[in-house]
Chains A and B, each alone.
Chain A
Amino acid sequence: MASSLDDEIEDLQARVSSLKKQIRIQTSTLLTAPSTLQILSQQDKPPTPTPALGDTQPLETRLLAQSALQQAHNQQCLYRACATLTTFRATDPDPRAVDAGAILGLRIEVVSRARFLRPYYVLLNRPYASGGGDDGDDGSRRYLRVHRHTLPPCIPLAGLAGRYLPAPTAGSAGGEGREQDLGRFARALRMEVVRYHHRLGTVADLRKAAGLGGKKRGVGEDGGEEGGGAQQEEEPNRLVDISPADAEVKQLTIEWADGRTGRLVMGDDGEIVRLVAVGENGRDREAGRELLGGAARVDDVARRLAAMA
């Protein structure tokens, strides 16, 4: 009895939350619609149309506030979707944080397989604001430093920060040291992140083109599709595994059905740097040439494999 009651309560709570979610979706849809905006802007002009009713007034202001919030959010989304590199301000909750907890956030959007992934964040603070104590305050005050970030470890953030956001040197009193360049830092960082995701996407394409589905290959199915006659020829040259071999996804391990293995080295932008295939009798140049087919980029290989399949 008690358990069924609990179930019922849980059920109802789930319904409440789903209905609330629906309300939020409907609200934002209605508030985004141009006709609603028109009505609201018209109502805005006569500020107190019905002063007699006390109840409508707060409702209207709340509606306007919600509309303003929605519009701000829409604008933010527009910038995020189109610029893919946006900044925002935040506060460090640490009471002893430098610079009164002021944080400048960088938000990097990544599109992969026609979807926006969760953005990467880099949060910067200004720890040099009162660090020196000398007259060099003015110059070094504006110097930024990476405080926290959510980038994966294969993005060379430390190197980029050292290159574009150098710390003010102690010797240069008037901030004569190397200048920081937040714009170039952000662009270089975004480029690294996007490259990384493109490489990941290329590997996924390659796997797909080679018929390596989600998890395990179906050996029987592949042979059946090829047809009985071609099966024996096809089998040894079939690729059974393509997987990234390092964190940066610049090296790929390739395995053929007959036990040959290979290593493909990709450049930053997906160009083929090197491919080595090793069979039983040492290096197998033939296999490498056959796989690449004169392609210069990994995408081309994926396209070729897809066309062959």
Chain B
Amino acid sequence: MSRLSVPTTARLPSSLRVDPSNPAVSKILGRLSRASLLSVALDWLDEDNLHLAGPYLRRRHHDQDSDSDDDDETDDLYPPARSPAALRQLYSDLQARKGSKRDVLDRIVDGDWRHGLSLYQLAMADLQYLYDHPTSQKWSAYRIAPLKPPRDPDGEEAPEVDKQSLAMPRFHPSTFLKTLQTQILPDLKAHYTFDAHKSLPLLLLRIFILDSPYNTNLSLQPSKAATAATTTFDASRTIYLAFPHASPHLYLSKPQATLPGPVAGAGAGGEARSLRALLVEGIPKALSRPLRRQRVTLLSTSLATRNLRELVERRGGGRTNFAGGGWGWYAGEGRGERETPLDLVVPLPLPLPLPGRGLGETGGPDGVGAVGVKRAGLGSGEERAVKRARLVARGRFGESGRVGDGTGVERVDVVVEDPFPGGDQRQGGSAPGWQPNVRLTFHGSHVFAGIRQLVECGMIDGERMPGWMTGEEGVTVGAVRNGRMRGHKGSGL
């Protein structure tokens, strides 16, 4: 490494090693479980990763000099291994054995990687944490759209008609990274890691940002002006971007400080927000291709959640984006067989729980008889009411909003803009009645599953419940007017 550090605009190299005594290292590694720690260590020792994550090995001349070899073993708690293969064996053995996490952590920090952990290794450990705790990040979904000044923030107006409205933005990871780097300010240094998500159709980009003009070891040293304890790591931030496959969307996580301390905590709010703003501004520029006159912009889609699966469902590449709630029936949820016109068997009336208010086609007779017979066979009226409530819930929610389905949002904020009932509220704009300021916040592990449960047990009348309570619009922030979510959310236009 050169002894001279010149401020540059280049990115931080993956091979840059961080001193193991750095609190950030113990923070990143310390929050992993023992099993994850071992699997990450084995990943580091993989042939493909060795050049960026090489362990501290015994030098050659030690082999010939048996005395010093012995010395090493006596005063060294973790004698360096001879080869990566031996180390791999060692960590595999540790995997089979039981033990404390502390031992493994100490072995990594004080033993096999005593010369420092590369930024690449830290990124891998961080990503492992993300897989272990899928809800550890709060994501917001953005739509990548051709750049046009929005005239109406609610999108109530139809989009401009031109040739560009038919163009779909495209994304190329390495070009994107190159241009994103030029968008980041020169006094920030970033380290980027791409990773394909293990279970979801996503490409993850981890951005680790340091406040330093240098891209060498100097950026990791304690700055001379500050006290010895504070390094630039204190102001470091990690932010994730996720690109769903085959979808013009992008998920951006909330920046997280590596070390939540008094230093980071004080300015973190504004700083983190500005960093996010910087990225929200920089990402569309990185995605744009000005030479081709293809400029894009990021539009908020009013969906923020910790659940990546929910995001993939509602802003992904499939059919369920704009067919939420009971409309999921059309996207094929809950129907096992494929729906081909060559199938001449008359479909069962199963997806039509309520004749009259059902979601299905009202064209032919629904086979009401079959449902009616079953209902007549039920016992008391109470039981019938419960059964009916469940059917109503199925009609309104479809297959969505089940407690264990792995999707769901944690928080929904709704502003009700309806005038106070009583008087002539039907007229809407013409009679400006008193309009109370009503804000509703739903909070829970799976908000719409909770509402569905309330419908199923009869606490909420499922037939009179407004449509936005089923979550079919797919937003977590919205305004309701005339009982409907404003801005035609959920239609995808």
Q: Which residues on A are within 8 Å of B, measured CB to CB?
A: 24-25, 28-29, 32, 65-66, 69-70, 72-74, 76-78, 80-81, 88-98, 105, 109, 115-121, 123, 127, 133, 145-154, 156-163, 165-167, 245-248, 251
Whether the pair A150, B344 counts as a contact (CB closer than 8 A) is: no
Contact A158-B247, Cβ < 8 Å, known A77-B342, A90-B362, A245-B172: no
Q: Chain B nearest CB: distance from A165 CB in Å? A: 8
Report the count of interface residues on B (CB-CB < 8 A). Answer: 74
Whether the pair B159, A159 counts as a contact (CB closer than 8 A) is: yes
Asked whether B170 is an interface residue with its Cβ less than 8 Å from the other chain, the reply is yes
Q: Which residues on B are within 8 Å of A, measured CB to CB?
A: 157-161, 165-168, 170-172, 245-249, 316-324, 326-327, 330-332, 338-348, 354, 356-365, 367, 395-396, 427-430, 463-467, 472, 482-484, 488, 490-493
Q: Which residues in B have their C-beta under 8 angstroms from that of A91?
A: 356-359, 362
Tell me the complex Cα distance, A183–B408, Å.
Answer: 37
Whether the pair B342, A166 counts as a contact (CB closer than 8 A) is: no
Contact of A162 among B165, B247, B364 (CB under 8 A): B165
Whether the pair B344, A74 counts as a contact (CB closer than 8 A) is: yes
Contact of A149 among B160, B323, B396, B427 (CB under 8 A): B323
Tell me the complex Cα distance, A251–B246, Å.
Answer: 12
Q: Which residues in B have their C-beta under 8 angstroms from that of A157?
A: 492-493
Q: Which residues in B have their C-beta under 8 angstroms from that of A162?
A: 158-161, 165, 493
Q: Which residues in B have their C-beta under 8 angstroms from that of A73?
A: 344, 346-347, 364
Whether the pair A109, B341 counts as a contact (CB closer than 8 A) is: yes
Q: Which residues in B have their C-beta under 8 angstroms from that of A153?
A: 246-249, 316-317, 321, 492
Tell me the complex Cα distance, A94–B326, Å.
Answer: 10
Q: Which residues in A have their C-beta under 8 angstroms from that of B167?
A: 156, 159
Whether the pair B165, A163 counts as a contact (CB closer than 8 A) is: yes
Whether the pair A69, B346 counts as a contact (CB closer than 8 A) is: yes
Residue among A98, A123, A245 with most chain B CB within 10 A: A123
Q: Chain B nearest CB: distance from A190 CB in Å? A: 15
Tell me the complex Cα distance, A15–B311, Å.
Answer: 39
Whether the pair A247, B246 counts as a contact (CB closer than 8 A) is: yes
A77-B342, A91-B356, A248-B170 given; 16 more Cβ-contact pairs under 8 Å: A25-B345, A69-B346, A73-B364, A77-B341, A105-B330, A123-B327, A148-B330, A154-B317, A157-B492, A158-B493, A159-B165, A159-B167, A246-B171, A247-B168, A247-B247, A247-B317
Q: Which residues in A have their C-beta under 8 angstroms from that of B159?
A: 158-159, 162
- A/B interface sample: 15 pairs, CB < 8 A: A24-B346, A32-B344, A69-B364, A69-B367, A91-B359, A116-B340, A133-B430, A145-B491, A148-B324, A149-B492, A153-B248, A153-B249, A154-B317, A158-B165, A158-B493
Tell me the complex Cα distance, A154–B167, Å.
Answer: 9
Tell me the complex Cα distance, A65–B354, Å.
Answer: 20
Whether the pair B170, A251 counts as a contact (CB closer than 8 A) is: yes
Contact of B395 among A32, A66, A88, A93 (CB under 8 A): A93
Whether the pair B246, A116 counts as a contact (CB closer than 8 A) is: no
Tell me the complex Cα distance, A7–B175, Å.
Answer: 57
Q: Chain A nearest CB: distance from B110 CB in Å? A: 41
Q: Which residues in A have their C-beta under 8 angstroms from that of B245?
A: 247
SS of B interface (majority): loop
Whether the pair A93, B323 counts as a contact (CB closer than 8 A) is: no
Whether the pair A97, B467 counts as a contact (CB closer than 8 A) is: yes
Q: Chain B nearest CB: distance from A73 CB in Å? A: 5
Tell me the complex Cα distance, A158–B347, Å.
Answer: 32
Q: Chain A nearest CB: distance from B399 CB in Å? A: 14
Q: Chain B nearest CB: distance from A21 CB in Å? A: 8
Contact A156-B464, Cβ < 8 Å, known A94-B484, A148-B490, A163-B161: no
Contact A123-B492, Cβ < 8 Å, known A89-B363, A246-B171: no
Whether the pair A96, B482 counts as a contact (CB closer than 8 A) is: yes
Q: Select from chain B the residue with minimum beta-carbon distance to A147.
A: B491
Q: Which 10 A-B pairs have the closest CB atoms?
A: A96-B483, A94-B467, A159-B165, A80-B341, A116-B340, A247-B246, A150-B319, A159-B166, A81-B341, A121-B330
Whether the pair A118, B332 counts as a contact (CB closer than 8 A) is: yes
Whether the pair A150, B330 counts as a contact (CB closer than 8 A) is: yes
Q: Which residues in A have their C-beta under 8 angstroms from that of B319?
A: 120, 150-152
Q: Select from chain A the residue with minimum beta-carbon distance to B395.
A: A93
Tell me the complex Cα distance, A65–B429, Å.
Answer: 49
Tell me the complex Cα distance, A81–B339, Å.
Answer: 12
Whether the pair A150, B158 counts as a contact (CB closer than 8 A) is: no
Whether the pair A93, B339 counts as a contact (CB closer than 8 A) is: no
Tell me the complex Cα distance, A81–B157, Å.
Answer: 36
Q: Chain B nearest CB: distance from A100 CB in Å? A: 12
Tell me the complex Cα distance, A146–B327, Å.
Answer: 13
Tell me the complex Cα distance, A123–B338, Å.
Answer: 20
